[in-house]
Structure 1
Amino acid sequence: MKYTCTILFVLISSTIIFAQQTVTISNDVLKDKIKGGWAGQTIGVTFGGPYEFRYNGTFIQDYQPLHWSASYVKNNMLNNAGLYDDLYMDLTFVDVFEKYGLNAPVDSFANAFANAGYMLWHANQAARYNILNGIKAPQSGYWMNNPHADDIDYQIESDYAGLMSPAMPNTASEISDKIGHIMNYGDGWYGGVFIGAMYSLSFTSSDIPYIVKTALKTIPEQSTFYQCIKDVIQWHEQYPDDWHRTWYELQNKWSNDMGCAEGVFAPFDIDAKINSAYVVTGLLYGNGDFTKTLDIATRCGQDADCNPSSAGGVLGTILGYNKIPDLWKQSLKDAEDINFKYTTISLNKVYDIGYKHAVQNILAHGGKQQGDNVIIVAQQPTPVKLEQSFPDMYPADKIALNTAIVETTFTFTGTGFIVSGAAQKKSDNKPDTIIEAELYVDGKKVETTRLPTAFTTRRYELFWHYGLTNAKHTVTMKVLNPNPDYSLWASHYIYYTDKPLSVKQTLITF
């Protein structure tokens, strides 16, 4: 596969003031790579699906077989549609671009996914709740408003940004700046920026270490996301034949989750940076082999469907659809005309739409079509702005509540807290309702909130409040419209301090 690169120099008074590199790709190659990207992520999420969050804090041993069948994609699309949240979230944004153009406003993307019929979790669901209750993007993804800001959500749905920005990683970042901040901030947003950049660079390079290192240039060096991925690159260079050693190093240094209440003091880790590190581990140690790449990305565990989906999508773009091994591609034959649930888009449709959007984006950024080729004004990646969620916040303890809130009070000494639980109806025969509640901190009302019992519109966490002085605080939660048929169940709370606890402090005696 050949690309033509041209560097144009502009001279004023014999002085070069800028250099512009163009890349020429045939229309057929562009179509094949876009098709490979969408196919690769579909294959990857299907392959990893059975292992999603079943191996937390451990990897899948090499002797354990991972299964595959030519019927897996079709069967899952028809009978396990929720597996494809990676895809139908992507396609929600693709559909907005298709309806309203490349300059569609952020609210059109936010409202499309907030009002969609699919179930959501973590940062996506927290953002959906925010949008439906008047907190617009980008505040809907900001860590003070979204305790899941660092979670993997935008990372798994950012593929479209890179696939519509061939050789234009900064353009992919601009798209992600608008859409990724709907649901994420900081490391959670960086996951999507980084994945998008890898896709973008995969149109003009097949050198995987180069793609990984160059894509990382879109991330600020001061961020923990950058530092984590840089570690993976260094460990791969240090242990080039042992991905297990890199996995152990990641577990030792980067397996702590600060924001997501389900991952604090638990093996579960949906944090974007470590799951992105598993994507990179699969790509680097897979060394261009599609099967090996999916195998390693899956065996790393945690979000074991999304990680091979991202790795498979990037590698599928590098290889192009035609070079994805038939072992994997045959599973798509009977599925490519099936619309993903909650959408009107199938794989065959998005292959064509994706190509159209890529050409539109190329032309919008100085490129052109010339005969059977597209000429792209290639971009050297530049870092996006620095963001860091949950600064100087360290989990101190997790305390069980296990109570239905009527008026419930607890005290803690620290700088913030988060309360987990759910608004519930006591019988499935009852209609969904909204429980209204108030939160007080140290006697002052912090918020009055609406807590739906409906799963798709629920508030993912009941209450949280950060940024307090490091002192003793009293928290009161009060239900305003009690009803014997419904309850506001609080399972536990986690509180934070402004410094890591010492060994002596973490030793609790009775």
Structure 2
Amino acid sequence: MKKQSPSKLTSSMTRSLAMFAAVVCLVAQISFADAGPRTISREVLRDKIRGAWAGQMIGVAYGAPTEFKALGKIIEGDIKGEPLKNAITQDDLYVEMTFARVMDTIGLDATTADYGEAFKNSKYELWHANAGARRNLNRGIAAPLSGHPRYNIHADDIDFQIEADFIGIMCPGLPQVSNQYCDRVGRVMNHGDGLYGGMFVCGMYSAAYFESDPRKVVAAGLACIPAESPYAKLVSDLLAWSAKEPNDWRKVWQQVEEKWDKNDPCPDGAFRAFNIDAKLNGAYIAFGLLYGKGDWQQTMEIATRCGQDSDCNPSSAAGVLGAMIGYAKIPEQHKLDLAKLADTKFSFTDYSYNDIVKSSEMRTLEVIKQAGGKVSETEVVIPEQSPQAPPLEQCDFGVPTQVLMVKDAAWNWSSNWVEKVGYIWADKIDTRVAEGAGSEVTLKFTGTGVALAGDLSKDGGRADVYVDGEKSGLVADAYIVPKTHDNDLWRIHGLKPGEHTLRLVMRDDADPRSKGKKLIISRAIVYQAK
């Protein structure tokens, strides 16, 4: 990679900020041209809420068979979606309903700690940032620290982005209020761009109640996140490139791929085609809206064909479109299918489609009143509110520079570590296993950070970690509660550039819930500050 001079870097930053400023001006001049309160009938409001939830269900079932089947490539050929009943068992929907339930029971003033407590006690399968958060919450690391990069290597991942829709749905024309709720909920599992993913999606929902142009809806979502964030820069690029190539989404997809599908800090994505990063998948949502141009099938199809998390992305794209056009204008066959399921409870929830629509409408009316609007039996009046981005924060893991597998010469294992076959997805790998006190390993690496990946399980043990001779305040703990799938064993970032030595020493204790004292290490990911 070529080094750029300070003048070139400054020029590049100036161009990026200028592009973002142009987008914000577009939002200010077009989306909010009719300044002042806006009125919408209760009937239309309800229809849009119904459309948003129906869109999520239809989109996720459509993309379900393709999820993570296309990594760094476009899905070609026919897409045969699952029957709509597939949506009933989708985590894309039932996880967000966990947080909706908190609002319905505790109230709209529920705190981040309240959302964290509900998540801590959830019983469904979780992965990535969600799994990291539940792991932390069950170790006494409360929200918002449960989603902080010091404790969660997945903090930039997609998780909150796919669980935030319910917030945007209940904030029609109120993007600032939407961001406030996102900040409370999203910090349970995410930080930085991972948090902004939810704000971007919810900002689009908020705009969708009063805007029929998908391009303006995407621009409105963009205006809800910091211009300097990589997430905002990616969406700004997409808006600019799609304006130049309005009819060739594949060409623009390739531009996004070449510039942005790289340097994923997630242990599963480092130097692999897999990418569960929030901003890349958020761009794929925007692809569906921009190139779908208001057509239901095209919106879902393009968001799906972009690949990676290709059930979550069409779910959010179709959800936003459902809010734009309303339930009444969704293609008839989908409505016929939904009618058969409308009273079926989603997995792990007390909500059916009809229930969550009713719940969302009640919360929406309360949000409008709290924002200074008016609610009557026939209509609502929503005060003027323009997007306002939060201060910039970033996960500072750095760029992955090496993946050191357990047989690499950088490792020095004591004699009581045992070889064991492990897996990264379907790929076999070598791992090292030890149990109980006495086992040690050292790792020499050059960079500003490192993450240890391994198998966390019900019989996991603990180890102390030393970096350059200094004991870390973070223990490597391999125990994890059931149905929580994570490989984030230990992590550190912010070290001085250069050579470092990590020493891991097995302890004789474990979490009281653990059935053993086992530690399995599969690899280390080395990072360099950007």
Task: Please classify the TM superposition score into its range, dividing by the shorter chain length.
Answer: 0.7 to 0.9
Q: Structure 1 pair 478/360, CA: closer, same or farther in 2 (3 Å)? A: same
- Of the candidates 158, 162, 169, which is equivalent to residue 156 of structure 1? 162
Counterpart pick for 2:107 among 101, 105, 111: 101
Question: Residue 180 of structure 1 aligns with which residue?
Answer: 186
Q: CA deviation at 1:331?
A: 2.4
* Alpha-carbon contact 2:161-2:197 (below 8 Å) kept: yes
Indicate the residue corresponding to 1:419 in structure 2.
452
Letter matched to residue 245 of structure 2: Y
1:503 is aligned to: none
Look up the match of 1:492: 523
Q: Partner of 1:429 in structure 2? A: none
| Counterpart residue identity of residue 168, structure 1 | L
| Cross-structure match for 1:437 | 463
The 1:304–1:105 alpha-carbon spacing in structure 2 relative to 1, beyond 3 Å, is same
Partner amino acid, structure 1, of 2:366: Q
**For residues 318 and 181 of structure 1, do their structure 2 counterparts lie closer, same or farther at Cα, with a shift above 3 Å needed?**
same
The runs of 5 or more residues in structure 1 that have no matched partner are 1-18, 425-431, 500-510
Q: Does the 8 Å CA contact 1:258/1:390 hold for their aligned counterparts?
A: no
8 Å Cα contact 1:125-1:460 kept in structure 2:
no
Aligned to 2:36: 21
Greater shift, 153-162 or 453-462, is seen at 453-462
Structure 1 position 189, deviation (Å):
0.7
Counterpart pick for 2:52 among 34, 37, 44 = 37
Q: 2:495 aligns with which of 434, 458, 468?
A: 468
Aligned residues: 464
Shift of residue 294, structure 1, vs aligned partner: 0.3
Aligned-partner Cα distance in 1 for 2:360–2:455: 39
Q: Which residue of 2 aligns with 1:409?
A: 442
What is the CA distance between 1:482 and its match in structure 2?
Answer: 8.1
Contact 1:451/1:458, CA 8 A, preserved across alignment: no
CA distance in 1, matches of 2:255, 2:240: 11
CA contact (8 A) 2:65 2:81 kept: no
The one-letter code sitting in structure 1 at the alignment partner of 2:129 is A
For 1:404 and 1:374, locate their aligned partners in 2 and report how far apart those are by CA, in whole Å. 61
- Aligned 8 A contact 1:451 1:459 in 2: no
- The reply to whether residue 390 of structure 1 matches residue 424 of structure 2 is no
| Aligned match of 1:65 | 78
Indicate yes or no: 2:221 matched with 1:206: no
Residues of 2 paired with 1:450 and 1:400: CA distance? 20
Give 1:470 shift: 1.4
Name the residue aligned to 1:359.
365
Q: Where does residue 250 of structure 1 map in the other structure? A: 256
Aligned partner of 1:488: which letter? L
Equivalent pair of 1:169/1:379 in contact (CA under 8 Å): yes
Q: Secondary structure of the residue that 2:483 maps to in structure 1?
A: helix
Deviation (angstroms), 1:481: 3.0
Map Cα deviations across residues 300-349 of structure 1 (whole Å, 9 max, x no partner).
Answer: 00000000001010001111111110132232122221111111111110
Q: Secondary structure at the match of 1:21?
A: coil
- Alignment counterpart, residue 222 of structure 1, candidates 224, 228, 248: 228
2-side partners of 1:367 and 1:352: how far apart? 20
Q: Is the 8 A contact 1:219 1:383 kept in 2?
A: yes
Q: Secondary structure at the match of 1:192?
A: helix
**Contact kept in structure 1, 2:405 and 2:522, CA below 8 Å:** yes
**Greater displacement, 123-132 / 275-284:** 123-132
The separation in 2 between residues aligned to 1:457 and 1:497, in whole angstroms, is: 29
TM-score, normalisation: structure 2:
0.84
Q: Percent identity?
A: 39
SS at match of 2:146: coil
For 1:315, which of 310, 321, 328 is the aligned residue? 321
Tell me the equivalent position of 2:282: 276
Instruction: Give me the whole-angstrom Cα distance separating, in 1, the residues matched to 2:337 and 2:528.
Output: 50
CA distance in 1, matches of 2:68, 2:81: 19
Deviation at 1:453? Answer: 5.0
SS of match in other structure, 2:308: coil
Counterpart contact for 2:138–2:481, Cα < 8 Å: no
